[in-house]
A and B are shown apart, each in its own frame.
Chain A
Amino acid sequence: MSNISADHQKLDPDEALRSNMTRHLFRRISAHNSILIGGTVLGAIVFMALFASLLAPHDPFSQDLSKRLLPPFWMEEHNPKHILGTDNLGRDYLSRLIYGAQISLMIGVCTAIISGIIGSALGITAGYFGGRVDAVITFIITTRLSMPIVLVALAVVALVGGSLHAVILVLGFLLWDRYAVVMRSATQQARNMDYVSAARAIGCPTWRIVLSEIFPNVVNNLIVIATFEVAHAILLEASLSFLGLGVQPPDPSWGLMIAEGKEFLLFDPWIITIPGIALSILVLAVNMLGDGIRDVSAPENRN
């Protein structure tokens, strides 16, 4: 850092300002870039999921044992009707991949909404009221943080039986901690603003202060965390399904496709490569979008 300021002193003030602005501009552009790239890729995947029935070349559930394990297009002996090949039951891999996007997105978004509601309610309440209320909610957050997510989620999913809904509910009730922590401190800051005191002074009811004075000031943080939690939930669903305690066959969850392909990994490693790449691209796109939104809306939180 000392080097940089020394460099600046050599330049004339105008130039120093300009170089500082260039740097700042670069940051903003790179933030916009990651929103652009992340958003475009995510948009494409959402489009794919929404129009799955039109885009998928085959029925993702129809089996054809005479066409088991056909290789994808970059390998010899591939079948032009099945661009990404077929799985061990002869189901078209591309169609399963397209339908799988629906599952990942559905779980990511629904989980982020449920946990977002729980977490922000707890966080805003703790931050706004402080005192005993804060102490109790902080205790709840601490307790939640001392429970390993994967282990608890596995145990609970085993309890209710694996299904799409079970995974959404279990993850929704587990992943609220980050919302609560961030919303709590954001609310604590917003609470001490003059306009909040003013609203209180003119006798505004508490629910109205929270909704119209506090909430608009913390909603930025909410959106950023929600984006990251979508990615988090998608990865966890894949892990649960991979372990056999998430989405159940024959549904084409990407995590489950990797689990089903595991036994063919010796001779057909492409069968686990394809859904894994799809998962990574989706999660990367969501994370990039979140990084970009954070950098644009609140650059001070970057590190």
Chain B
Amino acid sequence: MLNFTVRRIFLVILVAFTVSVIAFFLVRMSGDLATALAGEDANAQEIADIKKIYGLDRPLIIQYADWLIDALRGDFGASLYFPETVGELVAMRLPTTLQLAFSGLIISLLIGIPFGVISALKPDSWIDRISMSIAVAGQAIPTFWMGLMLMVLFGLILRLTPISGDESWQHFILPAFTLGYYSTPPIMRLTRSGMLEVLAGDYIRTAYAKGLKPLRVLFKHALRNAVIPVVALASVQFGHMLSGAIVIESVFAMQGIGYLAWESILRNDIAVIQAILLIVCLFYVGLTFISDLVNAWLDPRIRVS
């Protein structure tokens, strides 16, 4: 396990490094930073001056190294539109996105796991078929549209929830549900197939045979084993939610990093885009790492291969 972990950490560092290169060059190619800084009606001399002041006339590799070292210290440069530094800006907005993604994850687990368990207990029953059909149908609904429709139904017609913003916990209900429903089907499927496999095991039969209460067998013996891969999947899904938040936050006008990324892309605020891209990618890398570790701990065959 230690060997596996060390090899994985090495891989994670390599991936994180590659991702940082991509985040830097991808965004750098998108616009001329000097022109953006100087303003649209600057003349050639002013642009050249700006290039010199900000070190933009140096080779890209050196600029990248500079950016990376600063970024590792938490300094992501200055935004073109906000008085705060990019670091402060992201730190200010990140909690909203994390809260949103976390509530979305909780919702998808709260729906996905129970329905997965029930489906596994009664395979091919009506409840199994209905929950699977809803899962298939749900995957076809675009999240942003789902968000808008929920907004119309619960916010405008029934007036049960706030329509947009992020001031109170009530504001998080609709966005979190919108984000959560899309991740529910994979969690439900994995719970179902995991439970089917576990329930067929000898130790479950033994547990029943020695007269343990069925519910106790179900929760203490079966579910505990079936749910571990779901935890691994959930950490990957959490990453998807951070990225999905960009769409949901702009639908519900929530001031998270997704909304910030979208605004910054629209107005070419390069430093902000780079920082968010890097941070979300690092979250992804970290979450995948956790999921790999959980899976390897669970299944020794993965460690060896």
Contact with A along B11-33 (1 / 0, CB 8 A): 10011101100100011011100
Chain B hits for A238, CB < 8 A:
142, 144-145
Chain A hits for B14, CB < 8 A:
139
In A270-303, which residues have CB < 8 Å from any B CB? 272-273, 276, 279-281, 283-284, 287-288, 291, 303
Tell me, rounded to whole Å, the shortest Cβ–Cβ distance linking B227 to chain A: 16
Alpha-carbon separation in the docked complex, A209 to B130 (Å) = 45
Which of A92-100, A150-158, A193-201, A218-226 contacts its partner?
A: A150-158
Chain A hits for B196, CB < 8 A:
1, 303
Task: Classify the secondary structure of A's interface with B.
Answer: helix
Interface size on A, residues (CB 8 A): 46
Q: Which residue of chain B is the closest to A236 with respect to CB atoms?
A: B142
Chain A hits for B139, CB < 8 A:
283, 287
B193 pairs with A303, CB closer than 8 A: yes
A147 pairs with B148, CB closer than 8 A: no
B276 pairs with A151, CB closer than 8 A: yes
B18 pairs with A143, CB closer than 8 A: yes
Chain A hits for B271, CB < 8 A:
none
Chain B hits for A245, CB < 8 A:
265-266
Task: Classify the secondary structure of B's interface with A.
Answer: helix
Which of A57-65, A79-87, A120-128, A261-269 contacts its partner?
A: A261-269
A154 pairs with B246, CB closer than 8 A: yes
B243 pairs with A149, CB closer than 8 A: yes
Q: Is B200 an interface residue (CB 8 A)?
A: yes
A239 pairs with B144, CB closer than 8 A: yes
Alpha-carbon separation in the docked complex, A231 to B182 (Å) = 14
Contact with B along A154-167 (1 / 0, CB 8 A): 11101100000000
Alpha-carbon separation in the docked complex, A149 to B246 (Å) = 11
Q: Is B273 an interface residue (CB 8 A)?
A: yes
Q: Which residue of chain A is the closest to B143 with respect to CB atoms?
A: A239
In B140-180, which residues have CB < 8 Å from any A CB? 140-145, 148-149, 151-152, 156
Q: Is B77 an interface residue (CB 8 A)?
A: no
Contact among A147, A239, A266, A276 with B281 in the assembled complex (CB-CB below 8 Å)? A147
Known: A151-B280, A284-B140, A303-B189. A145 touches B199 (CB 8 A): no
A–B Cβ pairs within 8 angstroms, 8 of them? A2-B208, A146-B281, A147-B281, A150-B247, A243-B250, A279-B145, A280-B141, A288-B136
